[in-house]
């Protein structure tokens, strides 16, 4: 995994496996669980609704 975006407590990480990319968005939920997005654009959209 590699971190590709940080803004305050919100982070986007890219997880790579041999078949696909998954983007993990941390810092957007009250429980602290990450949200997943299939594309980077969707991950940025999640962060935009949480700021």
pLDDT for the residue 31:
85
pLDDT for the residue 42:
95
| Mean pLDDT per 10-residue segment, the chain (51 residues) | 91 87 90 90 89 58
11/19 Cα distance (integer angstroms): 23
pLDDT for the residue 51:
58
């Amino acid at each position: 995994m590699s971190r590709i975006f940080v803004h305050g407590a919100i982070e986007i990480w890219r997880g790579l496996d041999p078949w696909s990319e998954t983007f993990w968005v941390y810092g957007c939920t009250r429980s602290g669980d990450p949200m997943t997005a299939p594309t980077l654009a969707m991950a940025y959209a999640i962060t935009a609704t949480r700021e």
